[in-house]
A and B are shown apart, each in its own frame.
Chain A
Amino acid sequence: MVHSHTEALKPEMSYEVARTIHPITRWMRLLLRSKTGTFGFVILVLVALTALLSVLLAPYDPTLLNARNRLVPPFWSDGGSMAHILGTDHLGRDILSRIIYGSQITLLVSGASVIISAVIGITLGVVCGYYGGGWFDAIVMRVVDANMAIPNILFMLVIVGVFGTSVPTLIVVLGITGWIAYTRLIRAEVLSLKEREFIRAARSIGTRDRTIMRKHILPNLISTCIVVSTLSVGGNIVLEASLSFLGLGIQPPIVTWGYMLNEGRDYIATSWWIATFPGVAIAVTVLGILFFGDWLRDVFDPKAQGRR
């Protein structure tokens, strides 16, 4: 047996600390250490709960018309009442209830579409980067280039125009236009990553290409993936809103925040609350997601552990 040289090689740190506490406790501690992370997390939980418990939380049916209560301002304004905390729109529908119900579709569409684009984009990006310069890479990158030449919103308008507007169509449309962002970034990252010595070291012990991609390359892309994903969730909420705003989004009676913005536009001079509150909901949700994503990225970088 080989002798150990313990005298010279005493590592100063101990590894037990992080491993004895329950993972959930550890995560919560990490989260509480970051103010913006906590803020983002709270927002996300609130929005998610709102979406899940819409039926219980909403004081009214979001599609209930009430001609006598049209354009009621929020409760603190003159003429407002606690019956409609955030007021009513031009058809007398309760804005708060509509925002609560709108969170469902907003979260569903942005979340599901990001998952679709992440799966397509990351897979293509890793394969293109790893076999960089090959025929597959060349084809995919040309598709990416071609896609960059067309504004996304135009592309979406065409698809929505052809296939009609429904929740699944919208998810797929947002999904298949969103992968470009992933592929370009991930490919660039993989190109530099595969030249790193540990990839060569992994190859020198006979690791298969796909194992290298899965075990060595993918984990090193987590921070990039999180950043792109959180940006895209935010971006997709806004895109969905834009499509709805243009009247090509999800159609009534389903409520979305973007559609509410669109409706409120005509009354913005006289009844500001119709467009403002869904706008605030969009802004706060996107901000929350970005903050949470930022925190996640830090947590997944083991080298940053000491710094937090």
Chain B
Amino acid sequence: MINRQKVLEVRHLQTQFRTEHGIVRSVDDVSFRLDAGEILGIVGESGCGKSVTSFSIMGLIEAPGEIAGGEIWLEEQELTKLSKRQLRKLQGKDMAMIFQEPLTSLNPLLTVGLQISEVLTRHKRLSKREVKEQSIAMLRQVGIPRPEQVYHAYPHELSGGMRQRVMIAIAISCGSKLLIADEPTTALDVTIQAQILKLMKELRDNLNTSIMLITHDLGVVAEMADRVIVMYAGQVVEEGDVYEIYRSPKHPYTKGLMNSTPKIEEVRRKLESIPGTVPVLSNMPSGCRFHPRCPVARDKCRAEAPQMKLLRPGVQVRCWLHQEGEVELNEEFKRRAAAGG
């Protein structure tokens, strides 16, 4: 990548919710950066804090939730310090988001045209005619056939893929440099999924949009992302180049995720799964949060929480295994198996 301009940087973000059972910290010390024209994949199981991270960035966290600490830098602005009013000026213009369910993320009672116009009139000073022209141009840009007619259509008259295209059109219509896609293809079938992913890649290539792609589909990440962040129980456990992560995962959790995904080139007898479940946020295990499910957990893992360790520029992992330099995970697994058996 030639252009290494930073678009988004999240530093030690903490987001918590006040509940009846006390404070629940859904996002705990999450840091990452996203450069211009980069696609960053965020992977993890349900409830690991992926969506809460994106809502925190977008300023969509509402009481009883709050951002308890950390900084979010969008280009030159620190978002956590901004008022609601100032944030609203950025939402939709400098950062935009598309959601999992294209069916429910459009207002069923307003035409597609009205909903695109909304963001344009909110952030740009345009005449009514210009708004309409631009809206139709945006629909055309995201590959919607006969945009003049779709402009007058209601969401229920469109297919799921078309609706997601409309959402993308709304998200990019004010020239946002950052697009947060929260499981954008989960609700779509596979052929449409491929089209939407292709569209997002084209946006990146043509408009240099930075995309934060949240998903639990490792296939989608492999296809799309330049860099990957793996989250577990509200924390980043591994960060790295997409090839690096797929070729040699550093964290046992990442490895577990990989092993529980079927691979087409490999004939496997049985699909592995990670034993146990994601811990409840209000009752976090001591030490490393993954240790109850970890096949290579040691006493130290139970007692003390590991910190992010930079192995090499761009490759970080939160695991005691790699604390004194990188360890080949497969070797470690074998050694463990030998010692145990």
Contacts and interface: CB of A to CB of B under 8 A. Distances in A.
B203 A2 contact: yes
A302 B108 contact: yes
B99 A206 contact: no
Given A204-B58, A204-B96, A219-B109, A16 B90 contact: no
A198 B122 CA distance: 17
A200 B58 CA distance: 10
A45 B276 CA distance: 68
Interface stretch (B153-161, B217-225, B230-238): B153-161
Nearest to A219: B109
Given A206-B122, A215-B110, A302 B140 contact: no
A163 interface: no
A23 to B, nearest CB: 14
Contacts of A207: 88, 92, 118, 122
Contacts, number: 120
B258 to A, nearest CB: 31
A204 B104 contact: no
Interface stretch (B126-134, B142-150, B244-252, B303-311): B142-150
A200 to B, nearest CB: 6
Interface string B152-175: 111011110110000100110000
Interface residues of A, number: 35
A51 to B, nearest CB: 33
B106 interface: yes
Contacts of A14: 149
Contacts of A216: 107, 110
A203 interface: yes
Contact of A1 (B93, B97, B141): B141
B144 A201 contact: no
Contact of B143 (A4, A202, A220): A4
A237 B297 CA distance: 76
B152 A19 contact: yes
Given A8-B195, A197-B104, A303 B156 contact: yes
Contact of B97 (A204, A215, A220, A303): A204
B310 to A, nearest CB: 33
Contact of B93 (A9, A206, A222): A206
A1 B203 CA distance: 9
Interface string A11-23: 1011110010000
Contact of B199 (A2, A13, A19): A2
Interface in B263-284: none
Contacts of A2: 141-143, 199, 202-203, 206
Given A3-B202, A8-B195, A201 B88 contact: no
B216 interface: no
Nearest to B116: A205
B16 to A, nearest CB: 18
Contacts of B99: 197, 200-201
Contact of B144 (A4, A19, A198, A208): A4
A11 B106 contact: no
A215 B115 CA distance: 10
Interface in A41-74: none
Nearest to A301: B109
B123 interface: yes
Interface string B188-207: 00011001001100110010
A292 B142 CA distance: 42
A300 B88 CA distance: 31
Nearest to B99: A197
A5 interface: yes
Contacts of B156: 302-303
B75 interface: no
Given A19-B152, A205-B91, A206-B89, A198 B105 contact: yes
B45 interface: no
A16 B146 CA distance: 12
Contacts of B202: 2-3
B340 to A, nearest CB: 47
A8 B105 contact: no
Contacts of B146: 11
A29 B167 CA distance: 34
Given A207-B92, A302-B154, 10 more contacts: A11-B159, A15-B150, A198-B108, A201-B105, A201-B106, A202-B107, A205-B118, A205-B170, A206-B123, A215-B118
13 contacts: A2-B199, A2-B206, A8-B191, A9-B143, A13-B157, A15-B153, A197-B104, A197-B105, A198-B105, A198-B108, A205-B118, A206-B87, A207-B92
